[in-house]
Amino acid sequence: MVYSAVLRNGEPKGNNCGSYKRSVSLKGSRNGSEGAWGILWILCAALAVFLLIAVSPVSAGEQVMAGNPELSAHIVGTNEFSPGDDLSLQAEIENTGLNEFMIVKSGIISPGDLSSTAKQLTVTLGAGDAPLVVKADPQIAGDLPASQSATEAFHITVNKYAPAGVYQLPVILNYTYLYQANQEGSETLNYQYKSVNQTILVPIHIKPQIEIAVSDVQADNLNAGIEGYVNLTVKNVGSDNGQNAVVQVRQSQDSPLVPTEGSNYIGDFPVGVVTNCSFRVTVDHDAQQKTYPLDVLVYYKNYEGDYVDSPIETVGVPVGQKVKFTMTPVDASMSPGGKTVLTYQVQNVGGTTAYNAEARISAIVPFTCNDDTSFLGTIAPGETRTASFDITADSDATVKDYGMDAEVLYRDSLDNQFTSDPLKANIQVVPPFNPVNLIGLPALIVILLAVLAAAGYGAYLRWFKPR
């Protein structure tokens, strides 16, 4: 028997064995000696046993004669994504290669590698023509034997304005495999490997959806501490024609802008359509004069008939300075036990108009308010109004400066009532009028003597002067 075995992948393999024929011709009569036949069979059996003993090894080697890696790739889980998605994509690589047949024979060396194993496998995910970015380096999967699989993760970000459609992502596989193993002598096996660069296209589907772009933001009487309007111009720049659409605004995290009327129904919202919406918003009292975020989105029925939210678009909304007042005394002094009308100048130093404003004070000891409220009317930024209060001081009031608590109540342009920050109405208690304190005692004596002298001289002229 002649034997030849070369391990090659992708090429014809075979076990070329020589043919063996045996032809026996016996001529003679049936009367031949049966003893001769017995001797012949004994000799043949002995020869067969001898040959088996001579050629049979203690252990046999084996060689796989055919097989190579057969790799495929697919996405684990869903292959549908939305514009703006930022996620981890799982790609599974499967080796379906087979070892077709094996030879076991004495005198050959068993290879350490199988030809169906993909060795040093590296997996790379490309974007192809898909509107996305792959944010991952090539992944090293190592050796992948036949009938096994490996899963690699790739971070991808889909373009926010990605057009809907089916795209092919290239999965690039680089590996080597055992192509040929030649035995040289009884103790040496020469390996020959081949490198493979294989590209497999896996499909993904980017779903249609509404994407919005806010091109204009206008604030109407939107100041800290009051309520106003936000006017938006919104365009559908996505790939889905929304139905029963409602444009909504929501508070953005800890923003001081809180919508009080945050929905605007617009109905059908096809791709490319522009709509103008107005929303009522309250601004926190502690907000500063600057721009704050506000979230905008569209709630709509999509192409599958499901009601969904569009991705959020965050816009900046300018907030003006809050309403602020100052109170300056004009005539705010009185004596113990006195009753008077105190007047103050109230000025609007804020950023918006106060409507139907009125000033109010809270009396403290030793004062009593006979009228603690003064109507001011409408005060635009920078304008001043006079506030008057009827006050009585106790007779035992200490002579010094006092400060009474005051505030201004007002309404905004939407007729919501607000109260200003606390103010101070300063008032001064002064001693009662006393001439001695005004001109001093010596001067007072001189004045009195002069008055008496004048009075005496007048009496003299009238009664004692000779006629």
Residue 148 pLDDT level (bands cut at 50, 70, 90): very high
Task: Identify the three-state secondary structure at position 464.
Answer: coil
pLDDT of residue 300: 97
Span 235-253, average pLDDT: 96
β-strand partners of 249: 296
Indicate the average pLDDT of the chain. 84
Greatest mean pLDDT range, 14-23, 51-60, 118-127, 432-441: 118-127
What CATH superfamily classification does 63-206 receive? Immunoglobulins (2.60.40.10)
Is pLDDT above 60 for 437? no
Between 464 and 343, where is the model more confident?
343
Gap between the Cα atoms of 81 and 285, Å rounded: 42
Q: Per-residue pLDDT tens for 358-371?
A: 999 999 999 999 99
Instruction: Give me the DSSP letters along 275-318.
Output: EEEEEEEEE-TT--SSEEEEEEEEEEE-TTS-EEEPPPEEEEEE
pLDDT of residue 164: 94
DSSP letter at 59 equals S
Q: How far is CA 340 from the centre of its chain?
A: 63
Please work out, in degrees rounded to the nearest 5, the angle formed at the alpha carbon of residue 176 by the alpha carbons of 170 and 178: 140
Is pLDDT above 50 for 30? no
pLDDT of residue 354: 94
Is pLDDT above 60 for 23? no
In what side-by-side order are the strands of the sheet with 212-220? 212-220, 227-236, 274-283, 257-261
Among candidates 153, 149, 96, which has minimal Cα distance to 121? 149
Between 447 and 403, where is the model more confident?
403
Q: Which residues contact 213 (CB under 8 A, 6 or more apart)?
A: 234, 235, 237, 313
Query: What is the percentage of the chain residues whose pLDDT exceeds 90?
Result: 66
Bridge pairing between strands 333-334 and 423-429? parallel
Q: How far is CA 448 from CA 271, 436, 445, 461, in A?
A: 100, 12, 5, 20
Gap between the Cα atoms of 452 and 242, Å rounded: 104
Long-range pairs for 336-339: beta carbons < 8 A, 24 or more residues apart: 336/366, 336/393, 336/394, 336/395, 336/396, 336/397, 336/398, 336/399, 336/429, 336/431, 336/432, 337/393, 337/394, 337/395, 337/397, 337/432, 338/392, 338/393, 338/432, 339/370, 339/390, 339/391, 339/392, 339/393
What CATH superfamily classification does 212-318 receive? Immunoglobulins (2.60.40.10)
Please work out, in degrees rounded to the nearest 5, the angle formed at the alpha carbon of residue 39 by the alpha carbons of 37 and 43: 120
Is pLDDT above 60 for 155? yes
Span 413-427, average pLDDT: 92
* Class of the CATH-defined domain 325-429: mainly beta
Gap between the Cα atoms of 44 and 38, Å rounded: 10
Q: Contact 267/211 with Cβ under 8 angstroms?
A: no
Between 380 and 102, where is the model more confident?
380
Please state the pTM of the whole predicted model. Answer: 0.66
- Paired tokens of 233: 């111009």
Q: Contact 373/360 with Cβ under 8 angstroms?
A: yes
- Paired tokens of 22: 């045996």
pLDDT of residue 442: 72
Span 286-314, average pLDDT: 96
Mean pLDDT is lowest, of 49-58, 106-115, 369-378, for 49-58
CA torsion through residues 52, 55, 59, 62, sign: negative
Helix-, strand-, coil-residue percentages of the chain, each rounded to 5 = 10, 50, 40
Mean pLDDT is lowest, of 6-15, 276-285, 451-460, for 6-15
Is pLDDT above 90 for 376? yes
pLDDT of residue 35: 56
DSSP letter at 187 equals T
